Structure 1
């Protein structure tokens, strides 16, 4: 159990023996989580429906985008509502099974998200920096295998929580979640596997892409300026922003976990509770941001969002204005910038 919290445990619930939090704190935490849950569900569904509805968006790169949206959607449908119940009741009242399962699902979503972001970065890297082998590497069949492999690795990385006993209720964040102090070795391993190593891989991929983009833009500035569309750069920028926002939202919690795991007896008691809570809810908040980023930076997703929402608001009008993008390029490729020949690729995302 947690070292810094006094909890009287019984199987009808985990009761806080400390005084309830101030009303403003409960209101703030619940408001953030309600907003995150609603936007997460709506946004993730918009992303998934957009890709399946519009053939222009149906490509290998966006297979990972759909997988990432699924990872975001899962937590909004199950763990987040349970956390809200715990916030309002100031205790965990849903029993041990829901506690363990919700913590496990939370872990699947977190690790699945970073693995999918890594898959997206590798896909963009191959498409832009190794375009001659891209079609072979990312055929429809191979892409499905990659997505399945991502989720298989996610399960493998999450299942040990049951054997280590690290899924417990943490009253500080009202969540059944990973307890950083249960096993230092497992915490350190998990931080490296699900954060540090993927971040390093993604950073390498995007750094190589940035270098190539800068080189090509300088080289072709005079003779190809008229062929360079603003959308070409924005499409690559979309997924880069998704990665940066994820790293910002999850870095505090992971660094706290790493510090606590290195020296549990000394560091755990020194972590301000406020900092710990803010880092957790920053991580929760990240799950609703990806769909917003797509809508802000990607014109094709934005167009699909509008048409889907128009259908829900005015079905008759929508029938007359069926997605024009739905008849374009079934096998169009993902986010576009340049290939190794310094030639522009087509905007398809």
Structure 2
């Protein structure tokens, strides 16, 4: 493996020029579409879970958390990338660059950790249903959610010490520089991508095995699987697969560059590198669409919300009613505690 000093020199040699005008316009188009769908879709997800009692459960708390992670990039990093594209370079200074890179990492790592938390939740719900209520009590679920975001922040902080958040003119983004440190890049890919993907794959594989056994009557239906449970599982499985497909190319490019930067980095075609970013950026708007397509409860709630927007009074009265109902539930719970 080559030394980190040689890796640092590659930052300027490999990423010294912006992308071609065609690729730049394609990136801008993808970003504009992603920002709009990301904001509209994920806001719909959050409101749907808040309004619909059937959607308010421990598993969907992580779905809301995943939507928040997706929203982060649409609110700040993507718009400043668009600004850099229209300005033909980064004009916002180093502070905005570091903040943009930090929030990008917060969204990406938060997404993969939340997807992992969702997979573990689905595994416990389907494969260990009798222990599920105890494992995912209100208090425990809150702790799991906090732990997910604490680990996310902890995972990003080392970037500031390594100096790996840098501007790349090829994608007009302040992002993780794969060539700053070979060892650190390998660690990032393994800990932030390969290990979570492995955990999620294990959980979903065990679920698939149980479902097949129940269907073939090889194993008694101890988990009391319902059709709605299988649909919810399928929805989150598709979310996981699309995340792996969208982020896989960029991570594997980073891993290949880290293993042998002097040999690999100059040989990676510009279009392949930029396309891997296209796919990664695009993923943040997909989850809300998947919920609407595959989950009947989300789809119905989307329609109710969109229809109620034609009557704002009805929309806000519904929100107020939900707030009052939740307040009464918490008061009742406190009284019995």
Question: How would you bin the TM-score normalised by the shorter chain?
Answer: 0.7 to 0.9
For residues 23-172 of structure 1, the aligned pairs below 5 Å read 24-172=22-170
Secondary structure in structure 2 of the residue aligned to 1:177: strand
**C-alpha contact 2:18 2:172 (8 A) present in aligned 1:** no
| More moved, 26-35 vs 248-257 | 26-35
For residues 181-196 of structure 1, the aligned pairs below 5 Å read 181-196=179-194
Q: What's the TM-score, normalizing by structure 1?
A: 0.84
Asked whether 1:216 is paired with 2:223, we answer no
1:313 offset after TM fit, Å?
2.2
Do the aligned partners of residues 253 and 17 (structure 1) sit closer, same or farther apart at CA in structure 2, a change above 3 Å counting? closer
CA displacement 1:81-122 (0-9 Å, x = unmatched): 000011111100011000001001100110010000000000
Q: 2:284 aligns with which of 284, 287, 301?
A: 287
- In structure 2, what is the equivalent of residue 3 of structure 1? 10
**C-alpha contact 2:19 2:270 (8 A) present in aligned 1:** no
1:314 offset after TM fit, Å?
3.2
Secondary structure in structure 1 of the residue aligned to 2:167: strand
Secondary structure in structure 2 of the residue aligned to 1:92: coil
CA displacement 1:17-37 (0-9 Å, x = unmatched): 757732x33321111000001
Secondary structure in structure 1 of the residue aligned to 2:174: strand
Aligned length in residues: 318
- Runs of 4 or more off by more than 3 Å in structure 1? 4-7, 16-20, 227-232, 314-322, 324-327
Unaligned 5+ segments in structure 2 are 1-7, 330-337
- In structure 2, what is the equivalent of residue 21 of structure 1? 20
**C-alpha contact 1:199 1:247 (8 A) present in aligned 2:** yes
- In structure 2, what is the equivalent of residue 254 of structure 1? 251
CA displacement 1:46-77 (0-9 Å, x = unmatched): 11111111121111000100110000000100
- Paired with 1:127 and 1:325, the residues of 2 have a C-alpha distance of 26
Do the aligned partners of residues 4 and 149 (structure 1) sit closer, same or farther apart at CA in structure 2, a change above 3 Å counting? closer
Q: 1:312 aligns with which of 304, 309, 312?
A: 309
- Paired with 2:301 and 2:9, the residues of 1 have a C-alpha distance of 46
**C-alpha contact 2:17 2:169 (8 A) present in aligned 1:** no
**C-alpha contact 2:166 2:175 (8 A) present in aligned 1:** yes
Do the aligned partners of residues 267 and 228 (structure 1) sit closer, same or farther apart at CA in structure 2, a change above 3 Å counting? closer
1:260 offset after TM fit, Å?
0.5
- In structure 1, what is the equivalent of residue 231 of structure 2? 234
**C-alpha contact 1:2 1:170 (8 A) present in aligned 2:** no
- Paired with 1:285 and 1:21, the residues of 2 have a C-alpha distance of 20
**C-alpha contact 1:56 1:325 (8 A) present in aligned 2:** no
- Paired with 2:157 and 2:316, the residues of 1 have a C-alpha distance of 46
Secondary structure in structure 1 of the residue aligned to 2:216: helix
- Paired with 1:145 and 1:6, the residues of 2 have a C-alpha distance of 45
Do the aligned partners of residues 19 and 34 (structure 1) sit closer, same or farther apart at CA in structure 2, a change above 3 Å counting? closer
**C-alpha contact 1:169 1:176 (8 A) present in aligned 2:** yes
Across the aligned residues of Structure 1 and Structure 2, the Cα RMSD in angstroms comes to 2.9
